[in-house]
Amino acid sequence: MATADVVADLATLVGFPTVSSRPNLALCAFIAERFEAMGFAVERFEDPEETGKATLICRAGPEGEDGLVLSGHTDVGPVEGQPWSSDPFTLQRRGEHLVGRGTADMKGFLAATLAGLGGLPLSQLRRQLVLVWTHDEEIGCQGSARLAEALLQRRARLPSACWIGEPTGMRILHQHAGHVAAEVRCYGQASHSAFPHLGANAVHAAVRVAEAIANHQADFDAAAAAQQGIDIGGSVPLNLASLHGGDAINIVPDQATLRIGFRPPPGCSHLPLVSAFERAVQSATLPAGTRAESRVLRVTPSLRTPLGLPLQRALAPYAALAGQGDAAGGTAGFATDGGNLQRLGCAPLIFGPGRIEVAHQADEYVELDQLHAAVQAISAVTRTWTQTVAR
C-alpha cells in the first residue's frame, strides 16, 4: 500500500476519540468493514458491563494452533489538561513525525496492519490468521480479560504465535510485569469529634492496615520468589496508593478506603501475592469497634514468553533493519493484553512502531519510518507464516 494510504488510515483512526471513558463502537464499525472487505470473518464481543465498548476478532484461514495472532487495543490515553499544540484527534505531519493521540499507542500498528494485509489472498491461507482488537487496555486490559473469559467458556483457543503491536521502537520484547489493584474497606462507628470514645475511627483502622501491608514486603517477595523459575530482581513493587475516609472534620469517621497496587514480576502468578496481601490485612491490629474487608479490584497478568520461538526469528530481521541489533528480547516497562491472551494458548511477543516514552503525552507521535517498517514487517511475516506448510 502507498505511503499516502497508510497515513490516511492513521488519520482516520486518530479521528475517533476513543479515550477509555468513551465508546469505541464507531471505530470498531470502521475497522470491521475494512477487514470484512478483505475477507475476514469478524466477530464482535460487546462488553457486558461497559456500554458502548467492544472487542473485535477477525479470522481467516483454517483453524489450528500453528497460525498467527496480531493484536492491539483501540483505546487511547486521555488528553484533558495536556498542553497539545494542535487538536489531538486531528493527525498532523511535522517533518518525519505524525502527531496525534494514539499515533504511537497504538493506532499506528492498527493502520500498519490495514496496509500490510492489503492484497493478502485470504482464501488461499494454509494457516489461520487472527486479528484481535481490544477495548479498555489502558485501564487494566479489561477488554482482553473479558474476551479470554468468553472464549474459555467456549473452550476456544487462539494460535500460539501472537504479535502484540505495542510501541517498542521496533524492539522485540518478551516479558513484562503484571499489576494487581486491590482495596481494603474499613468500618467503624461515627460519633461527634468532641466525644471520640463514643465512636470507632475507621481512618485509624485503615492506617493500621497500611502499616501492616508495608511491613509485609518480605512476604510479598517470598511469595514471588517461591514460584519456579521466577527471578524477582529485587522487591515486588508495592504501592499504598490512596486512603480516603470521613465526611467532616467534626465527625469521627465510620468508613475509610485504602487502595493498594502490587506488581507480579514477569512470569509470576498473581495468586500467591494476593494471598500475601490477604495475610497482611488479617495481621493488622485494629482499634476496638472497627473491622476491615479486602478485595481484589482488577488483575492484569504478567507475561514471560520463552526466547527463541519461531515468531521471534521471523521478526528479528525487521528489528535489525530498524537498528535494534540481534533482537535477543527484552522486558517491557508496561503491561499489555498479552498477559490475558496467553490464557488462550498464545505465546505473545511485543513489537511495534513508535516509542512508549511519548505515549499518553501531549503531541504524541509516531516516526514515519517506523510506520513504514511496521507495514513491511506485517506484510512479509503474515504472508510467509500463513502460506507455508511447514516451518
Question: 10-51: per-residue pLDDT in tens?
Answer: 999 999 999 999 999 999 999 999 999 999 999 999 999 889
Using an 8 Å Cβ cutoff, are 8 and 68 in contact? Answer: no
pLDDT top residue among 76 and 64: 76
232 pLDDT more than 80: no
Q: Quote the cell numbers at residue 172.
A: 522485540
Using an 8 Å Cβ cutoff, are 328 and 343 in contact? Answer: no
Alpha carbon distance 209, 290 (integer Å)? 11
390 pLDDT more than 90: no
* Placement of cell 512479509 in the chain: 380
In this prediction, residue 234 carries a pLDDT of 79
Of the pLDDT bands very low, low, confident and very high (cuts 50, 70, 90), residue 355 is very high
Give 237-253 pLDDT, tens digit per residue: 999 999 999 999 999 99
Amino acid present at 252: V
329 pLDDT more than 90: no
Sheet holding 41-46, edge to edge: 41-46, 54-60, 129-134, 68-73, 161-164, 347-350
User: What distance, in Å, lies between the first and last C-alpha atoms of the chain?
Assistant: 27
Using an 8 Å Cβ cutoff, are 66 and 127 in contact? Answer: yes
The whole-model pTM stands at 0.90
Give 273-326 pLDDT, tens digit per residue: 999 999 999 999 999 999 999 999 999 999 999 999 999 999 999 998 877 655
Alpha carbon distance 348, 336 (integer Å)? 10
H/E stretch holding 292: strand 291-300
CA 12 to the chain's CA centroid: 23
In this prediction, residue 365 carries a pLDDT of 98
Q: Quote the cell numbers at residue 161.
A: 504465535
Give 191-223 pLDDT, tens digit per residue: 999 999 999 999 999 999 999 999 999 999 999
Quick one: DSSP state of residue 351?
-
In this prediction, residue 391 carries a pLDDT of 42
Region 1-16 average pLDDT: 86
Boundaries of every domain in the chain: 3-176+302-386, 179-300
Region 369-374 average pLDDT: 95
Of the pLDDT bands very low, low, confident and very high (cuts 50, 70, 90), residue 382 is very high
In this prediction, residue 243 carries a pLDDT of 97
For the domain covering 3-176+302-386, report its CATH number. Answer: 3.40.630.10
CA 380 to the chain's CA centroid: 26
DSSP H helical ranges for the chain: 3-14, 25-38, 108-116, 142-153, 202-214, 217-225, 271-283, 310-321, 338-341, 368-386
Average pLDDT, whole number, for the chain? 94
CATH architecture of the domain 179-300 equals: 2-Layer Sandwich (3.30)
CA 188 to the chain's CA centroid: 37
Give the rounded percent of residues in the chain with a pLDDT score beyond 90. Answer: 90
